[in-house]
């Protein structure tokens, strides 16, 4: 073992020396895996995928190390053809961190899923096993290409790879309601693809290139804005919003993310929705930073704020654990869009906060979905009211669930705390206090439902809980490890935060994010974040105590019944096809309008 270490170090150094060529590995490794998975013997598929994921993690680490030590982005021209004729790849600090996060989360999911997707003795191959492992590779390939691609059409193909791999995962259990959820997801995501492609075509028709860097120069250099540009931007943004499931375009997300098998839910919630968000980020901050008018930014921010409030409130009403986690994803996506109004002034702090939110939510949500999967397998159901006694039966899993939850609430030292600190500081600093309020209220609502779930899980059950299916220790440990990743993100050295800015358009306030974060550890700051959460915890315990003395109501906590029912009605209204389609069209028109008016 000791002899292997220098060998590995030397190999790793060789990898880093590859420079731009290194980017081909995360691009092609998942694709090769997807293809070979069809030929590999069915019984060894899980281990084959695991080996690939380990290689993928190594290459992602090498890219991150190369970007960090070189202090510049890695570039590569495929086939040796320079854009606009050819297609370029680029990994700046942001993409490198995203590649690394993807590799870590997928490795965790890969270890966790060994049990659920193994082939039973006596069979050469099963439907579930082949579909899961091949599609996991497909998702991985799509996401990596999204992070590296610099060409709008290549990015479209990457989105297609991602969508076609993600949709069947939803229906892997084969129940009618999951098939319906998958079809809903497929149709809405394809609608998004069409809008994106239309936008890309308009860019090509206007400028004759699809390369992001070239387009950015052309757009920045033009005196007058061609009319096609705001239309293209609006089409692409709304198409990607549909794929990201930002409120009010979330009609497909709750049934899809709650109906998939836990390992698949983890990937869909942690990673897949972030890929389309990443492209929105690229479009607005790399492709045409000057076009982010104040009104457009406020519209996107308002949708994000609505997602935070609405998602968290509806999560409070859920009776099933997986649906609660799915609605929490809806809310957490909202934080990603608060960065638009906060970064519209050209500050890089909000973008850093968005990237940190992607990373910490990816780890935390993957851990939560997988923990919920273990809990549901042990209990045979995932009713929140029936969680009593599970804390005693699966202590590690419930601990992991709780720790991941701390990151979603935004308690120190989690990644969520960094996000909240940066967003709050920017909101106050730019005089937009309303976003500050949203961030704080969102955290407290999250705390309310997580404490409710935990208090149920930790309560004693009348009968001793005997797990139907006891999880493997390694599964529990993987879930705990991912939860710890999210929780301890805040303890990373501040240089890790600066890494996010490498290779990005120079901002006037480079290093501002790490300066803000260095200031985040004073006692009064920590306390000011903590006491409201403690009050919420006390309230939840009080409500629980009262409920235990009264006859049990069959549903989630209801502060008051009438507003709750109205919320449910609003949610079911928004999740109807005609309404979703209508909102999609309205958003396109509204975004075009904001870009034209605000100039």
Partner 1 sequence: MTSALVVDAALVLLVLGLALWITAARAAYGAAVGFVAYGLLLTLIWVRLAAVDVAMTEAALGSGLTGLLLLGAAARLAPYEAAEHQRRPGLGLRVLVGVLCAAIAAGLAAVVLLLPDPAPSQALAVAAHLPATGLGNPVTGVLMAYRAVDTLLESVVLVPALIGVWSLSTEMGWGGRPGFLTPWRSGSALPLLARVLPPFGILVGIHLVWAGADDPGGKFQGAAVLAAMWILVMVAGLREPPRVSDRLMRFLLVVGPLCFIGIGAAGIRLAGAFLAYPEAYAKPLIIAIEVGLTISVTAVLGLLLAGPPVPEPQYQRQSRRRS
Which of 144, 150, 193, 209 forms a contact with partner 1 (CB under 8 A)? 209
For position 343 contacting partner 1 by CB under 8 A, the verdict is: no
Q: Report, in Å, the least distance between residue 136 CB and partner 1.
A: 10
Is residue 402 helix, strand or coil?
Answer: helix
Which of 75, 115, 128, 575 forms a contact with partner 1 (CB under 8 A)? 128
For position 95 contacting partner 1 by CB under 8 A, the verdict is: no
Token representation of residue 357: 């939110």
Which of 15, 16, 26, 34 forms a contact with partner 1 (CB under 8 A)? 34
**Candidate ranges 126-134, 384-392, 395-403, 536-544; the one touching partner 1 (CB under 8 A):** 126-134
Which of 174, 176, 431, 554 forms a contact with partner 1 (CB under 8 A)? 174
Residue with tokens 């006491």: 531
Q: Report, in Å, the least distance between residue 127 CB and partner 1.
A: 4
For position 135 contacting partner 1 by CB under 8 A, the verdict is: yes
**CA of 256: how far to CAs of 25, 383, 489, in Å?**
31, 18, 29
Our CB check for partner 1 shows the closer of 24 and 543 to be 24
Q: How far apart are CA 370 and CA 377, in angstroms?
A: 10
Which of 55, 65, 68, 131 forms a contact with partner 1 (CB under 8 A)? 131
Is residue 330 helix, strand or coil?
Answer: helix
Which of 206, 269, 348, 397 forms a contact with partner 1 (CB under 8 A)? 206
**Candidate ranges 221-229, 433-441, 546-554, 557-565; the one touching partner 1 (CB under 8 A):** 221-229
Our CB check for partner 1 shows the closer of 351 and 595 to be 595
DSSP string for 124-172: S--HHHHHHHHHHHHHHHHHHHHHHB-BHHHHHHHHHHHHHHHHHHHTT
Which of 202, 270, 485, 520 forms a contact with partner 1 (CB under 8 A)? 202
Chain CA centroid to CA 30, Å:
19
Q: How far apart are CA 307 and CA 441, in angstroms?
A: 12
Binding mask 554-593 for partner 1 (x = CB under 8 A): ------------------------x--xx--xx-xx--x-
Which of 59, 64, 95, 134 forms a contact with partner 1 (CB under 8 A)? 134
Which of 13, 157, 541, 597 forms a contact with partner 1 (CB under 8 A)? 157
**CA of 32: how far to CAs of 56, 88, 138, in Å?**
12, 20, 10
DSSP string for 35-50: HHTTTS-GGGHHHHHH
For position 145 contacting partner 1 by CB under 8 A, the verdict is: yes
Q: Report, in Å, the least distance between residue 124 CB and partner 1.
A: 7
The strand pairing partners of 473, in sequence order, are: none
Phi then psi for 89, rounded to 5 degrees? -115, 150
Q: For the segment 41-80, give every residue that binds partner 1 (CB under 8 A).
A: 76-80
**CA of 112: how far to CAs of 121, 266, 398, 476, in Å?**
19, 11, 16, 8
Q: Report, in Å, the least distance between residue 47 CB and partner 1.
A: 19
Dihedral, 169, 173, 175, 180 alpha carbons, nearest 10: -10
Q: Report, in Å, the least distance between residue 505 CB and partner 1.
A: 24
Our CB check for partner 1 shows the closer of 18 and 65 to be 18
For position 183 contacting partner 1 by CB under 8 A, the verdict is: no
**Candidate ranges 34-42, 240-248, 278-286, 350-358; the one touching partner 1 (CB under 8 A):** 34-42
Q: For the segment 229-268, give every residue that binds partner 1 (CB under 8 A).
A: 231
Which of 62, 74, 99, 167 forms a contact with partner 1 (CB under 8 A)? 167
**Candidate ranges 81-89, 351-359, 500-508, 557-565; the one touching partner 1 (CB under 8 A):** 81-89
Q: Report, in Å, the least distance between residue 221 CB and partner 1.
A: 14
Q: Which of 264, 329, 254 is nearest to 109 (CA)?
A: 264
For position 194 contacting partner 1 by CB under 8 A, the verdict is: no
Q: Which of 408, 366, 407 is nearest to 489 (CA)?
A: 407
Q: How far apart are CA 372 and CA 299, in angstroms?
A: 34
Sign, CA torsion 258/438/285/509: negative
Q: Report, in Å, the least distance between residue 428 CB and partner 1.
A: 39
Burial state string for 434-470 with b = 16 or more CB within 10 A and e = fewer than 16: ebbebbbebbbbbbbbbbbbbbbbbeeeeeebebeee
Instruction: Kindly give the residue spans of alpha helices, DSSP state H, lying in 149-282.
Output: 152-170, 176-207, 212-221, 228-244, 253-259, 262-267, 273-281
Q: How far apart are CA 69 and CA 64, in angstroms?
A: 9
Token representation of residue 415: 């990644």
Query: Based on the number of CB atoms within 10 Å of its own CB, is 548 exposed (0-12), middle (13-18) or buried (19 or more)?
Result: exposed
Our CB check for partner 1 shows the closer of 48 and 521 to be 48
Our CB check for partner 1 shows the closer of 122 and 554 to be 122
For position 1 contacting partner 1 by CB under 8 A, the verdict is: no
Residues lying near partner 1 in the complex (CB under 8 A) are found at 21, 24, 27-28, 31-32, 34-36, 38-39, 76-81, 84-87, 124-128, 130-131, 134-135, 138, 141, 145, 151, 153-154, 157-158, 160-161, 164-165, 167-168, 171-172, 174, 179, 198, 202, 205-209, 226-228, 231, 578, 581-582, 585-586, 588-589, 592
């Amino acid at each position: 073992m000791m002899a292997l270490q220098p060998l590995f170090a030397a190999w790793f150094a060789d990898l880093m020396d590859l420079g731009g060529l290194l980017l081909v590995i995360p691009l092609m490794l998942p694709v090769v895996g997807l293809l070979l998975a069809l030929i590999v013997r069915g019984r060894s598929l899980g281990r084959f995928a695991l080996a690939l994921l380990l290689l993928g993690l190594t290459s992602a680490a090498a890219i991150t190390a190369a970007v960090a030590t070189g202090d510049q982005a890695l570039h590569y021209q495929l086939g040796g053809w320079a854009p606009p004729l050819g297609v370029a790849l680029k990994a700046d600090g942001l993409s490198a961190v995203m590649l690394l996060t993807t590799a870590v989360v997928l490795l965790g999911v890969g270890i966790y899923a060994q049990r659920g997707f193994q082939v039973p003795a006596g069979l050469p191959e099963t439907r579930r096993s082949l579909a899961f492992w091949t599609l996991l590779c497909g998702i991985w390939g799509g996401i990596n290409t999204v992070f590296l691609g610099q060409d709008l059409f290549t990015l479209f193909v990457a989105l297609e790879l991602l969508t076609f791999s993600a949709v069947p995962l939803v229906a892997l259990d084969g129940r009618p309601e999951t098939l319906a959820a998958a079809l809903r997801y497929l149709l809405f995501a394809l609608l998004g693809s069409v809008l994106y492609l239309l936008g890309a075509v308009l860019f090509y028709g206007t400028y004759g290139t699809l390369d992001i860097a070239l387009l950015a120069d052309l757009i920045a250099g033009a005196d007058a804005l061609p009319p096609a540009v705001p239309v293209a931007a609006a089409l692409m943004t709304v198409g990607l919003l549909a794929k990201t499931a930002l409120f009010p375009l979330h009609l497909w997300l709750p049934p899809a993310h709650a109906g998939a098998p836990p390992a698949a839910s983890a990937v869909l919630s942690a990673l897949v929705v972030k890929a389309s968000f990443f492209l929105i980020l690229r479009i607005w901050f790399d492709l045409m930073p000057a076009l982010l008018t104040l009104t457009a930014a406020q519209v996107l921010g308002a949708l994000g704020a609505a997602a935070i409030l609405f998602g968290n409130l509806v999560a409070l009403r859920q009776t099933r654990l997986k649906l609660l986690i799915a609605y929490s994803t809806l809310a957490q996506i909202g934080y990603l869009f608060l960065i638009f109004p906060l970064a519209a002034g050209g500050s890089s702090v909000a973008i850093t906060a968005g990237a940190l939110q992607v990373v910490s939510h990816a780890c935390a949500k993957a851990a939560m979905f997988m923990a919920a999967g273990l809990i549901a397998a042990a209990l045979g159901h995932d009713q929140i009211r029936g969680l009593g006694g599970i804390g005693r039966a699966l202590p590690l899993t419930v601990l992991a669930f709780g720790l991941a939850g701390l990151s979603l609430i935004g308690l120190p030292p989690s990644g969520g705390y960094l996000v909240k600190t940066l967003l709050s500081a920017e909101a106050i600093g730019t005089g937009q206090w309303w976003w500050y309020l949203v961030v704080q209220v969102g955290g407290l609502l999250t705390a309310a439902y997580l404490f409710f779930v935990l208090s149920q899980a930790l309560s004693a059950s009348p009968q001793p809980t005997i797990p139907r299916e006891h999880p493997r220790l390694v599964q529990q440990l993987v879930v705990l490890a991912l939860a710890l990743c999210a929780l301890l993100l805040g303890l990373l050295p501040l240089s890790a935060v600066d890494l996010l800015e490498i290779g990005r358009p120079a901002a006037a306030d480079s290093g501002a994010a790490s300066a803000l974060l260095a200031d985040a550890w004073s006692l009064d700051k920590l306390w000011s974040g903590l006491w409201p959460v403690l009050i919420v915890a006390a309230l939840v315990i009080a409500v629980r105590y009262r409920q235990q003395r009264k006859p049990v109501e069959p549903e989630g906590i209801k502060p008051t019944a009438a507003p709750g029912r109205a919320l449910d009605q609003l949610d079911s209204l928004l999740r109807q096809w005609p309404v979703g389609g209508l909102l999609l069209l309205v958003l396109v028109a509204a975004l075009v309008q904001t870009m034209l008016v605000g100039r």
